Amino acid sequence: MSDQGISNLSSEERRFEPPADLAATANATEQTYRAASEDRLAFWGEQGRRLDWGTPFTEVLDWSNPPFAKWFVGGTLNVAHNCVDRHVDAGHGDRVAIHFVGEPGDTRDLTYADLKDEVSKAANAIEALGVQAGDRVAIYMPMIPEAVVAMLACARVGAVHTVVFGGFSSDALASRVEDCEAKLVITADGGYRRGNPSALKPAVDEALAKLGDSSPVENVLVVRRTGEDTALTEGRDVWWHDVVDSASADHTPEMFDAEHPLFVMYTSGTTGKPKGILHTSAGYLAQTAYTFWATFDHKESDVYWCTADVGWITGHSYITYGPTAAGATQVLYEGTPDTPHKGRWWEIVADKKVTLFYTAPTAIRTCMKWGEQIPAEHDLSSLRILGTVGESINPEAYVWYRENIGGGRTPIVDTWWQTETGAHMITPLPGVTTAKPGSAQVPFPGISAEVVDDAGNPVGDGEGGYLVITEPWPSMLRTIWGDDDRFKETYWSRFEAQGYYFAGDGAKKDDDGDIWLLGRVDDVMNVSGHRLSTTEIESALVSHPSVAEAAVVGAADETTGQAVCAFVILRESAADGASGDELVAELRQHVAKEIGPIAKPRQILVVPELPKTRSGKIMRRLLRDVAENREVGDATTLADSGVMDLITAGMQDAK
C-alpha cells in the first residue's frame, strides 16, 4: 500500500465504545490483559487447564530448541473428547452442536450426544479401514456435518487430517495427497452449489489416477450428499452410509501427547509449492477454544455462525475445533450467500436467531454492493457481536456492517491471524476495546506482537514496518510438513537475531500504538480472503502450451480486496493461432483446472514483453500500476526501458 493509503487509514476518526451491558458481563476484561502481562506462561497454563487432560502437563512451554516449541509438556489428552464427549459427560448432550442448513433448504440439527455418536462411529469405521494414529487422511468435502465429523474422527484416533478445500481442483488435491502421503481420502459424491448438485468424487478419481501406482491412498470413503450417479472403484471406495452408519457408537478415545500432530493445512507460499502447515494438539486446542470464548464473548445461550469453509484455517479453528471445545451451538451452512436469493444469509440469521456472526470483509463488500435493503428485510436483532477475518476491513465496509447488519449496536471484532498462527493474535475484545474501524488494534492477552523496522527495532507510534510476533504462542505452527529448513527459513530467518516470528504482513502503529495491518509484503495475494501465490498462478499459466511466460499481480479490487491480473507472453506458435478472446478464456479455464476457480485471473493481458530488471526479476510493482490504471512508477532499473510503453499501449488497445 502506498504511504498515502497508510496515513489515510489511520486518520480514520470514528470510535465505537463497547456497549455497557456487554462490558458488564464480558468473559474477557481489563483484568484479563493484566493477568496475561504479569505472567504470560502462567496465563496460558490457566487456559490449558480449561481442557480435560488424561495426564496433566508439568511445564507450560519448552522453548529450549527454538523455533521448535513444545507446549503443555508431559500432558496427554484427546482432542475429540474435549470437543465432544466432555460436554455430554457434563450433562449437555441435548444441546445443539450444529444447526445444519443445506443449500437446497434441507436442515438437520445435531446435538452434542448425536455428534458423539457420529464421531465415534466414524472413528471406528476409519480404524476398520486401517487408519492408525499418525496416519494421514485427506478430507475433500462440501460444507456438510460429515466434514466436521470426519475431522473430529481423525482427531479421535490420532490420525492427521489434511482438509483440501472442495473448490480446489483434482491437481491441487493430488499434490497435497502426495505431499503428506494420505492413506485415506474422505469425500462426498458432491454438494450443492448455486442451486445445482456439484460433483466432487470425480475429482478424487482424477487425482488418484494422476498419482497412478505411486498413490499412497488405500481407500476412499464417500458420503452420499446429492445422490447423483457416482462411480465407486471396487476394493478401494466405500460408502460412508455402509461403513459408518453400521459401526458401533462406542469408541474409547486414546490419550495422545500434547504435541501429537493434529492436522496439516496447506497454504500458499512465495514459491510455487504450497506449504503444509503443521498444527499439534493441546496448544492449538487451548488457544482456539480460549480465543473463541474471549473474542466472541461466548455464552451458553449464544448461537454462533462462521461463514468460512472448513477447507480453510478459519473453518478449522472457528468451526470444527474452537467452538466445539467451548461447547457452542453453531450454524453450518452449505451454500453461497445468494442462493436462491441475496438475502439467504440474513434469512438464516433470523431463523436460527444467530447472536455471534463471523465473516470476511470481501463478503461484506459484496453485501454492500447488493444494497442495504436486502438485510433490512430480515430481523437481525438477535445479533450481538460481529467478527471479520481474512484481510483488513475498509472503514466504510466496517461502518456499513455495523449499521446494516449489527443495527448500530454490535461491536465488531477485526481479528488478525494466519494459517500459521492457528488462532486469533491481534483483535479488539468486545467488552473492553474502544473500536477503530479498519484496525485490528491490540494483541490478544498473552500474545506479544510488535511492528519493527528493517533491522528488527520496534518502530515508534505513527510509524510503519513489519509485523512480528516476539514470543511463542500455544497455537503456533510447529513446522512445515516434512521441511524443517523451509519452516526456519520462511518464518524465523528474517529476524533471526531477535528470534522473532516474521508474519509477512506490513503494519503500522498509530499515535495510540494501535496496530493497523497493511497487507502482505511478499508475493502472496489475498483474493476474497483466500491466500493465493503469484508464483503458483504463473506456474499454472506457463503450463499451458500457448504460454511462454507469465507474470501475475494482485490488483486492488472493490469487492474481492485483490484480484488476480495476469500478463502473458505467448509462444510464437500460439501468437497467430486462436483469437485473443478465445485464448484468454481458455487460459482462465486452464488456471481454474490447475488450481481452482478462485485462482482464475480477473484479467489476462497478452503482452510482447515483461518488465524485468537486469538480474531477470520481474518488476511486479510496475505491472500492478498498469493493472490498477495508475501512472507507471519509476522504471529506470529495467533492462529494457521501452517495455512499459509497449505494455501500457496494449492495455489502451484492450479497453
Spatial CB neighbours of 434, under 8 Å, sequence gap ≥ 6: 15, 16, 17, 18
336 close to 193: Cβ distance less than 8 angstroms:
yes
Spatial CB neighbours of 513, under 8 Å, sequence gap ≥ 6: 461
> What is the C-alpha separation between 7 and 26, in angstroms, rounded?
33
Q: Rounded to the nearest whole angstrom, what is the least distance from the CB of residue 419 to ligand WTA in the complex?
A: 3
399 near ligand WTA, rule: CB under 6 A: no
Q: Which of 96, 182, 440, 555 binds ligand WTA (CB under 6 A)?
A: 440
9 near ligand WTA, rule: CB under 6 A: no
CA distances from 273 to 144, 207, 484 (A): 29, 17, 15
**Is 528 labelled a binding residue?**
yes
Query: Whose Cβ is closer to ligand WTA: residue 26's or residue 426's?
Result: 426
Phi then psi for residue 15, to 5 deg, are -135, 145
410 near ligand WTA, rule: CB under 6 A: no
Q: Which of 244, 517, 551, 626 binds ligand WTA (CB under 6 A)?
A: 517
**Is 418 labelled a binding residue?**
yes
The footprint of ligand WTA on residues 453-512 (CB under 6 A) is: 503-505
Rg of the chain (C-alpha set): 24
Q: Which of 389, 423, 607, 638 binds ligand WTA (CB under 6 A)?
A: 389
Query: Whose Cβ is closer to ligand WTA: residue 390's or residue 446's?
Result: 390
Q: Rounded to the nearest whole angstrom, what is the least distance from the CB of residue 503 to ligand WTA in the complex?
A: 6
CA distances from 262 to 116, 133, 158, 322, 489 (A): 19, 10, 7, 14, 23
**Is 195 labelled a binding residue?**
yes
**Is 620 labelled a binding residue?**
no
Query: Whose Cβ is closer to ligand WTA: residue 1's or residue 133's?
Result: 1
417 near ligand WTA, rule: CB under 6 A: yes
Q: Rounded to the nearest whole angstrom, what is the least distance from the CB of residue 74 to ligand WTA in the complex?
A: 30
> What is the C-alpha separation between 20 and 12, in angstroms, rounded?
24
> What is the C-alpha separation between 190 and 181, in angstroms, rounded?
24
Of 476, 475, 451, the closest CA to residue 462 belongs to 451
390 near ligand WTA, rule: CB under 6 A: yes
The footprint of ligand WTA on residues 289-318 (CB under 6 A) is: 313-314
Q: Which of 169, 362, 410, 419 binds ligand WTA (CB under 6 A)?
A: 419
Please report where in the chains the cell 464421531 appears, as a residue. 119
Helix, strand, coil abundance in the chain, percent, nearest 5: 35, 25, 40
Axis crossing angle, helix 580-594 with helix 534-542, rounded to the nearest 10: 120
The kind and range of the H/E element at 98 are: strand 96-101
Alpha helices in 420-566 (DSSP H): 484-487, 534-542
**Is 359 labelled a binding residue?**
no
**Is 252 labelled a binding residue?**
no
Beta-carbon count within 10 A of 464 CB: 19
> What is the C-alpha separation between 569 and 561, in angstroms, rounded?
26
267 near ligand WTA, rule: CB under 6 A: yes
Q: Which of 114, 117, 135, 414 binds ligand WTA (CB under 6 A)?
A: 414
Axis crossing angle, helix 40-48 with helix 30-38, rounded to the nearest 10: 110
416 near ligand WTA, rule: CB under 6 A: yes
156 near ligand WTA, rule: CB under 6 A: no
Alpha helices in 449-575 (DSSP H): 484-487, 534-542, 572-575
Instruction: Mark the segment that binds ligand WTA (CB under 6 A) among 246-254, 329-337, 369-377, 514-522.
Output: 514-522
391 near ligand WTA, rule: CB under 6 A: yes
Q: Rounded to the nearest whole angstrom, what is the least distance from the CB of residue 360 to ligand WTA in the complex?
A: 8
Burial class (CB in 10 A: 0-12, 13-18, 19+), 607: buried
**Is 194 labelled a binding residue?**
yes
CA distances from 52 to 282, 392, 636, 642 (A): 10, 35, 62, 66
Query: Whose Cβ is closer to ligand WTA: residue 548's or residue 598's?
Result: 598
269 near ligand WTA, rule: CB under 6 A: no
- Could you give the string, one character per residue 526-555, with x where binding to ligand WTA holds by CB under 6 A and - elsewhere? x----x------------------------
170 near ligand WTA, rule: CB under 6 A: no
Side-chain half-sphere exposure of 545, counting CA atoms within 13 A: 4
Q: Which of 187, 219, 366, 392 binds ligand WTA (CB under 6 A)?
A: 392
Query: Whose Cβ is closer to ligand WTA: residue 99's or residue 508's?
Result: 508
Write out the three cell numbers for 135: 496416519
429 near ligand WTA, rule: CB under 6 A: no
324 near ligand WTA, rule: CB under 6 A: no
Side-chain half-sphere exposure of 245, counting CA atoms within 13 A: 8
Query: Whose Cβ is closer to ligand WTA: residue 380's or residue 518's?
Result: 518
415 near ligand WTA, rule: CB under 6 A: yes
Q: Rounded to the nearest whole angstrom, what is the least distance from the CB of residue 391 to ligand WTA in the complex?
A: 5
Query: Whose Cβ is closer to ligand WTA: residue 177's or residue 469's?
Result: 469
- Compute how many residues bind ligand WTA; rule: CB under 6 A: 22
Question: What residues form the annotated binding site for Mg(2+)?
Answer: 542, 544, 547
Contact footprint for ligand WTA (CB under 6 A): 267, 313-314, 389-392, 414-419, 440, 503-505, 517, 519-520, 526, 531
Question: What residues form the annotated binding site for ATP?
Answer: 414-419, 505, 520, 531
